[in-house]
Each structure stands twice: as structure tokens, then as C-alpha cells.
């Protein structure tokens, strides 16, 4: 997990080419615990100490089972699931209890009660439901997410899968496996219309890549109003224009977060309004789609193909109908890329830590009411 930071005392804009030479003020008695990424090397902690001499860093790996994490996000935690949480030693618990700052994927049960100094949590991903943001807010703890850190590889994955579908790559692979030579052509991508539901960091990166193929890109954003425009899409729609937009699309890419409004956003009724033969790509959250309705739409041909990198239940049970649905392209929530992720995540953390020390507004602050 090698990474290069900017020089100690300087702030680097994440994703930018320029370094802003802003001195970090000497702040004493600030404790930061990095709970994820797991198992940092000693040299990496030394890098952080050199960059932030007023901060005491600790690395305590913590990673909860998927079932507990999922239950926290859905508000369905049971005593039995809490019992599956990893155990902490007394020394580890004391260190976390003294922390002002945490970077984490998961938080130990009850931490809000016994970590009384905690003021800020930096999540390592865009999804933060398992961190129970409303409970953090109630304790006055600020929560920031890592939105945008993985947007490039996810967008590449989404567009790559669309090319796989439209160019009929599966047919060509099957022919090669069968040693069968038969002329077969895919579809022309140029001129197709691609709709993006959720125009955040991922949606924007999808739009930019899709436009490189000379497609028409339509965007749907929760906050958009009639007449609004956006430089990354050809046309912008708000919530009230969603169905109007979808009716025009040859493919729909879902990159919206999990919120009460997006649960089953694509139910049987909405899937029935889509352009016949549409390709549906979900790199957002599994709860956005009614999966039984999607299987039915694939079987009827209303949906031509479905690309799911996220599902409602993960890991996907072996008896799920999704496995055998026609023209289904499944992947186990792996559209991110290992290369570059930790580096970008640590730069975001360091940038926000400098803001925290300087009492400046943090980046990617989560709205607990919207859960993103």
C-alpha cells in the first residue's frame, strides 16, 4: 500500500495538479486513529507524523462482517449480529476512546458512548449508512465520506460493460471457446442516448467517458430545476422529469445513493416505461432496483440487458434468480480499482485533516438527512 504524500506542511488538492502551500498550524494533543486501510506499514505512519507533527497517529485495523455492516445501514441490528463484531483489546479500546479523529469503514458498537473526545469521522467510501450518520450528528460528530475517490474506475467499469453488451462480446467469447468461426457484429455506439440517474462524482465521470463515444448524454439530478444546465451532460432533468428522460434512453446508468427516495425507484411500473430493449447499469446501490421486477423485465425483453455491480443482498445468495436471468451481467461489487485508491483516499484524509486542524470547513461533509 505504497503512497506518496506532498511535502509536510503543504496541502494538496485531491485530484488536482497544483499544491497549495498552506502551512499546517502546530496543534498539540490531537489523536487520530486510522482503522482502515488495514495494517499500515510503520513507514507510512512515520510519513503521517512528519507531515502532521502536532498529531499522534495510531493504526488499529477494524473490519466488521458484511452481515453486521449491512444491518447497521438498514437499521436492523440485532444482539446476535452485534456479537459478530471484532473484539478489541483493552489497549485498543483506550486508544480509540482518546481519539479526536477516526478514519474508518466500520465503527465498533457503542463507540459514540465511550469515545467522548471524538469530533470527526472520515469514511473510506461514499456509502456511509453503516456508520449511522444521524447518531453521529446527535453526538456532535462530523462525518465526511470519500465521494469521488473511486469515481474514475467505477465509470470505466460502467462504460466498459456497456461496450461489452452492445458489441456482443459474450457471443465472440463463446465462439472462441467453442472453436467456432462465424461472422458476428455488434451495435454502433455512436449516436446512442445514455441517461444517468444520480449526477454526482461517479455520474459525471460516466458522462465524460460516454461523450467520448459521440453519444447523447442525459442527466438526472435530485436538485435540478426546470431550465438548469450542466456542462457534463447534453440535457439535465430534475426529479419530475425522470420518466421523460428515461423514455429516450438506449441505456440507463444508475449511480444514485441509497436514500428513502431511491429505494425501489426502478420498480415494475418504471421498468415498464423504459424504451424497449434498454440496457440498465447499476453501479449505485442495490436497493434502487426491484430485483424481481428486473428479472421479469429481462425475461420479457422489455429490458435488453442488465449490468449489476451491486445487489440488494451481498453476497448474492446462490439461489437468487438474478444468477440465471437472461442477459444478466453480474459482478460482486468490484467496479472500483485497487490501483490508486488508497493514495487518493489518504490525500483526501490529509487534506481534510489540515482543514480540521485549521478549523476550516471539511470536504465531503455528509448530510445525515440525505445519508450522503
Which of 156, 164, 235, 314 is labelled catalytic? 314
Cell 426546470 appears where?
226
Residue 133 · residue 371 · CB < 8 Å = yes
Asked whether the beta carbons of 285 and 256 are under 8 A apart, the reply is yes
Q: Check 58, 222, 333, 363 and give the catalytic one.
A: 333
How far is CA 295 from its chain centroid? 24
Q: Which three cell numbers stand for residue 51?
A: 507531515
CA distance 59 to 284: 30
Cα separation, 333 vs 317, in Å, equals 14
Residue 285 annotated in active site: yes
Q: Quick check: 189 and 242 in contact, CB under 8 A?
A: no
Q: Is 270 a catalytic residue?
A: no
Q: Verify whether residue 338 is a known catalytic residue.
A: no
Candidates 285, 291, 312, 355; catalytic one: 285
- Cα–Cα–Cα angle for 360, 36, 105, rounded to 5 degrees: 80
Which sequence positions are flagged as catalytic? Answer: 285, 314, 333
Amino acid at each position: 500500500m505504497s503512497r506518496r504524500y506532498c511535502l509536510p506542511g503543504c496541502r494538496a488538492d485531491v485530484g488536482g495538479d497544483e499544491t497549495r502551500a498552506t502551512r499546517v498550524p502546530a496543534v498539540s494533543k490531537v489523536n487520530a486513529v486510522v482503522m482502515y486501510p488495514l495494517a499500515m506499514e510503520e513507514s507510512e505512519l512515520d510519513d503521517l507524523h512528519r507531515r502532521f507533527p502536532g498529531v499522534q497517529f495510531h493504526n488499529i485495523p477494524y473490519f466488521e462482517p458484511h452481515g453486521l455492516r449491512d444491518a447497521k445501514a438498514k437499521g436492523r441490528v440485532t444482539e446476535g449480529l452485534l456479537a459478530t463484531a471484532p473484539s478489541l483489546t483493552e489497549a485498543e479500546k483506550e486508544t480509540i476512546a482518546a481519539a479526536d479523529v477516526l478514519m474508518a469503514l466500520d465503527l465498533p458498537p457503542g463507540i459514540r458512548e465511550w469515545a467522548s473526545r471524538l469530533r470527526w469521522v472520515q469514511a473510506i467510501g461514499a456509502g456511509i449508512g453503516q456508520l449511522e450518520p444521524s447518531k453521529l450528528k446527535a453526538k456532535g460528530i462530523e462525518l465526511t465520506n470519500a465521494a469521488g475517490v473511486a469515481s474514475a474506475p467505477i465509470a470505466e467499469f460502467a462504460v466498459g460493460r456497456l461496450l461489452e453488451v452492445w458489441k456482443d462480446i459474450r457471443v465472440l467469447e463463446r465462439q472462441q471457446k467453442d472453436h467456432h468461426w462465424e461472422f458476428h457484429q455488434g451495435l454502433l455506439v455512436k449516436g446512442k442516448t445514455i441517461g444517468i440517474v444520480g449526477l454526482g462524482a461517479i455520474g459525471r465521470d460516466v458522462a465524460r467517458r460516454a461523450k467520448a463515444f459521440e453519444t447523447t448524454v442525459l442527466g438526472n439530478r435530485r436538485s435540478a430545476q426546470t431550465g438548469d444546465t450542466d456542462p457534463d451532460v447534453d440535457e439535465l432533468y430534475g426529479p419530475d422529469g425522470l420518466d421523460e428522460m428515461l423514455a429516450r434512453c438506449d441505456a440507463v446508468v444508475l449511480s444514485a445513493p441509497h436514500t428513502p427516495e431511491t429505494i425501489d425507484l426502478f420498480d415494475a411500473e418504471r421498468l415498464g416505461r423504459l424504451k424497449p430493449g434498454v440496457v440498465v447499469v447499476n453501479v449505485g446501490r442495490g436497493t434502487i432496483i426491484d430485483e424481481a421486477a428486473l428479472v421479469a423485465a429481462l425475461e420479457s425483453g422489455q429490458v435488453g440487458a442488465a449490468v449489476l455491480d451491486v445487489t440488494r443482498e451481498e453476497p448474492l445468495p446462490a439461489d437468487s434468480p438474478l444468477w440465471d436471468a437472461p442477459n444478466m451481467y453480474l459482478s460482486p461489487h468490484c467496479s472500483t480499482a485497487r490501483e490508486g485508491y488508497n493514495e487518493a483516499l489518504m490525500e483526501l484524509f490529509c487534506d481534510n485533516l489540515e482543514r480540521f486542524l485549521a478549523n476550516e470547513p471539511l470536504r465531503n461533509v455528509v448530510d445525515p438527512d440525505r445519508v450522503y
